[in-house]
Structure 1
Amino acid sequence: MTGLRILRPARQETYEKVFATVYAGLVTNLLLTLSCAPLLLALAVVRDPLASWPFFAALSAVCAPALAGAFRCFALVEEGSTAVLAAFWGGYRRAFGRAVIVWLAGAAAMSVLAVDAMVAGRFAWGPALVPFFVTAAGLVMAVAVAVLVVVTESPRGVRGLIRPCLYLVARRWYLMAPTLAVLALAVTFVLVKPLLGLLLGLAPLLYAVWATTRYVVLPLLPGS
């Protein structure tokens, strides 16, 4: 007859790590909300955002440095730091220009693909091009996220990162495909349930996006 094992309480370090992770996630959500406030406010005011999509495509660039700041927070949390505000601001400030360039370039490419898809849809052979447009859009988004992850941790320029990021993303497509699904889930969560999405759900989902993408682009990061 085996004796019952007495469950030992978790170590103090475990509680501290859990608390630090939850704290970092909540603060990151708050900072993301504040940084993206212009876009969120415009979406709340305008009744039909699709009718003004060029305006919103340009305004969405405010999210780029905010994502860079969030990615920097995730990196420091992995190292055990709890200086979330300093990490967010540091990543936001250092990657601001390059992040905006990446975002606007990606938005422009997605806009071109959307217009081309609408034009092609008017023809009988249009549905045959659906796989092409879906794949191209996925590549654009994946490369944009990959470049954002790299510029958050590296001083390299955007132009020199496009090709290597495209190669790595295409090589690890089986990792990036579910990553894009998680990213789409994060955006949908925020649009459908803004309060819960912004205050609770955003950071965990973005962390999953960051962690997987960082693994994919690890050869491009300093010290690799």
Structure 2
Amino acid sequence: MRPRHHTIAAVFDGAYVALVSNVLLVLGSLPLVVLLFTTDPARSWPLYALTAPLCAPGLCGVFAVMSGYSSGEGGSVLRRYGRAWRAAARPATLWAAGASAVLVVLGVDAYALWGHRAGALALPVLVVLAVLTAGTGLLGLVVIAERPGARLPDVARACLYLAVRRWYLTAASLLVLGLLGQLLAARPAIALGLAAAPLLYVVWANSRFTLRTALDPPTTAPTTA
């Protein structure tokens, strides 16, 4: 009976963390959620680009909750989220603002080149740069969630290198995020109420595995004389 009791408790704990994470994600991304329900994304994309960086600390807070749950740490989920949000507020906002600016520039360039001869050569390059920017930006938020004091240039170099080196993991994370985006556009209530936390957990776990060499450096055993 004891293993069964532990299994049931683990299931309830996981469900609780998932539901609370969904609520915290909505609260942390409230500006984008309001825009989603009140505007047309195709016409209001500049507002989305300006608002997205404000939601980055909330996403870092959710990643910190997932990290604590995965490692078996105790304590309040709300307290862990609050500590991570406060610590990551400035670096995460700056990081997301930089990534959003690069994506906007790439998107505007792609739109300007669409249908021109130069676009046949330039568009594939712009798409690759956009994917690299999105993958690097995602990995950077996972790093900031655990190392909010890290220097952003160092974060950029490490995340860009690992995003390229583990390109298949980066592609998988972006595909899951794309699935979440499609679900959010089609069924926002289901996406925000149920699916967001499980899908983001897959993204976080995938990204954390990609970053393990940077976040978990090998320790050398002390030598004895």
TM-score after normalising by structure 1: 0.90
Structure 2 Cα separation of the partners of residues 71 and 90 of structure 1: 12
Q: Any conservation in 2 of the 1:24–1:82 contact (CA below 8 Å)?
A: no
Matched, 1:69 2:56: no
The aligned counterpart of 1:209 is: 203
Aligned Cα root-mean-square deviation (Å): 1.7
| SS of residue paired to 2:24 | helix
| SS of residue paired to 1:170 | helix
| SS of residue paired to 1:151 | helix
Structure 2 Cα separation of the partners of residues 222 and 172 of structure 1: 16
Deviations 1:75-117 (A, max 9, x none): 1111223621112111111111111111111110000100111
The aligned counterpart of 2:126 is: 133
| SS of residue paired to 2:19 | helix
The aligned counterpart of 1:3 is: none
The aligned counterpart of 2:162 is: 168
Q: Post-superposition, which runs of at least 4 consecutive aligned residues in structure 1 deviate over 4 A? A: none
Q: Any conservation in 1 of the 2:31–2:55 contact (CA below 8 Å)?
A: no
Structure 1 Cα separation of the partners of residues 101 and 132 of structure 2: 14
Code of the aligned partner of 1:113: L
Q: Any conservation in 2 of the 1:20–1:82 contact (CA below 8 Å)?
A: no
Structure 2 Cα separation of the partners of residues 223 and 152 of structure 1: 17
Matched, 1:49 2:41: yes
Between the aligned residues of both structures, percent identity stands at 35
Matched, 1:110 2:77: no
Give the gaps of 5 or more residues in structure 1.
1-7
| SS of residue paired to 2:32 | helix
Matched, 1:182 2:176: yes
The aligned counterpart of 2:221 is: none
Deviations 1:48-94 (A, max 9, x none): 33333222211122220111011001011112236211121111111
Counting only pairs closer than 5 Å after superposition, residues 1-12 of structure 1 correspond to structure 2 as 10-12=3-5
Code of the aligned partner of 2:197: A
| Offset of residue 222 of structure 1 | 5.4
24, 32, 45: which one aligns with 2:25 = 32
Structure 1 Cα separation of the partners of residues 96 and 113 of structure 2: 25
Give the gaps of 5 or more residues in structure 2.
219-225
Code of the aligned partner of 1:138: V
Code of the aligned partner of 1:156: A
Structure 1 Cα separation of the partners of residues 67 and 156 of structure 2: 22
Structure 2 Cα separation of the partners of residues 207 and 160 of structure 1: 25
